[in-house]
Chain A
Amino acid sequence: MREAARVRRLAAATVVAGLLSGAVSVTPPATSGARPHAAAAADFLAARDGGRAADYPLLYERSARIPATGESVWVGKLWDRRSGRLEIVYRDEAGAVGGPELVRGRVRAAHALLSAFDRKASHGLREAVSRAAVSSGRARPLAVAAWLEVDLDAAEAAVRTAHPEVAWIGDRPLLNDLGAVRRLRAELWSARRDAIATAALGVRRAVERAGGRIAYVSTSAPIVFLDIGPEVVAGIAERADVVSLGLEGTWQPAMTSAAPAIEGNWTSGSGDSGAGVRVGVVEYHNVRRNGDLSGKVVKSYSTSGRLAFSPTFDHPTWVAGAIAGHGGRWRGVATGASIVSAGTGGYSPSLAYDRAIIRATDWAVSPGGGNADIVNTSLVQDTSTGAEEARRYFDSIVDRDGRLAVSAAGNYVNLGSWAVGSPGTGYNVLTVGGVDDQGTGRRRDDRIWYAPGSNGSNFLDRPSDPWNAHGDYNKPNLVAPAVNVRTANGLAASGTSVATPIVAGVAAQVLSNEPVLAAWPEAARAVLLAGAVYRVRMPNGSWNVDHEGVGMISAVWANRVANAGDNRLGGYRLGELTPGDQPVQEIAVLAGDRLRVALAWNSQVTGSGNLDLTDQLRADLDLQVTDPSGRVIGSYSLDNAYEFVEIVMPSGGVARLQVLQARFDGASETYGLAWAKVRETDPPGIRAREPDPDDRWPAGRDPLWVRFDERVMGVSGTTFRLRNLSTGTRVAATVTYQGSTRTAFLVPDRRIRPGRYQLVLRSGITDRALNPLRTTRWNFRVIRPR
Chain B
Amino acid sequence: MPGMARRRWFVRSGALTLFLLAACTSQPPSSAPGSVAPSLAPITTAPASGAPSPDGTLASPGTPYDATEVLAAMRDSRRPGGVPDELETDAVAAALAAALWTWDGQQWAAWSVGGSCGPETCSLDVAGSPSTGAGTDLYSFVVDRVGGGVTLSSTDLHGHPPGLDARLDAIARGALEPAALDGLRLVSGRWLPPPDTDRYWLAYRSGGEEGAPRLDVLVDLASGEVLEVDDGS
- Using CB atoms and an 8 Å cutoff, list the residues of chain A in contact with chain B: 1-2, 4-5, 8-9, 12-13, 15, 17-28, 60-63, 65, 67-70, 110-111, 114-115, 118-119, 123-124, 126-127, 129-131, 133-134, 250-253, 255, 257-258, 284-285, 310-315, 347, 349, 352, 382, 384-386, 412-419, 452-454, 460, 462-464, 466, 471-472, 493, 537-538, 540-546
Contact = CB atoms under 8 A, between A and B. Distances in A.
Contact of B123 (A419, A472, A538): A538
B116 interface: yes
A30 to B, nearest CB: 11
B80 A21 contact: yes
B196 interface: no
10 contacts: A13-B81, A24-B112, A27-B107, A28-B72, A129-B43, A250-B207, A352-B207, A386-B132, A464-B109, A538-B123
A123 to B, nearest CB: 4
Interface stretch (B152-160, B172-180, B221-229): B152-160
Interface stretch (B8-16, B55-63, B93-101, B134-142): B134-142
A181 B219 CA distance: 56
Given A1-B72, A24-B78, A253-B209, A541 B111 contact: no
B17 to A, nearest CB: 21
Contacts, number: 262
Contact of A25 (B2, B75, B112, B142): B112
B110 to A, nearest CB: 4
A2 B133 CA distance: 33
B118 A542 contact: yes
Contact of B112 (A9, A23, A385): A23
- Greatest chain B CB density within 10 A among A1, A24, A463, A466 is at A24
Contact of B133 (A15, A17, A127, A315): A127
Nearest to A539: B118
Chain B facing A: main interface SS? loop
Interface string B182-203: 0001011110000000000101
Contact of B114 (A28, A310, A546): A546
B205 A8 contact: no
Contacts of A466: 132
A25 B110 contact: yes
Given A123-B133, A131-B45, A415 B121 contact: no
User: Which of A2, A413, A452, A538 counts the most B-chain CB atoms under 10 A from its CB?
Assistant: A452
B138 A543 contact: no
Contacts of A284: 207, 209
Interface in B39-58: 39-40, 42-45
Nearest to A128: B43
Contact of A464 (B43, B132, B206): B132
B116 A544 contact: yes
B112 A471 contact: yes
Nearest to B202: A416
B147 interface: no
B75 A538 contact: no
Of A70, A310, A415, most buried by chain B (CB within 10 Å of CB) is A70
B81 A416 contact: no
Given A110-B38, A313-B210, 11 more contacts: A8-B78, A18-B80, A21-B80, A68-B39, A70-B36, A257-B210, A314-B210, A384-B188, A542-B122, A544-B123, A545-B80
B148 interface: no
B149 interface: no
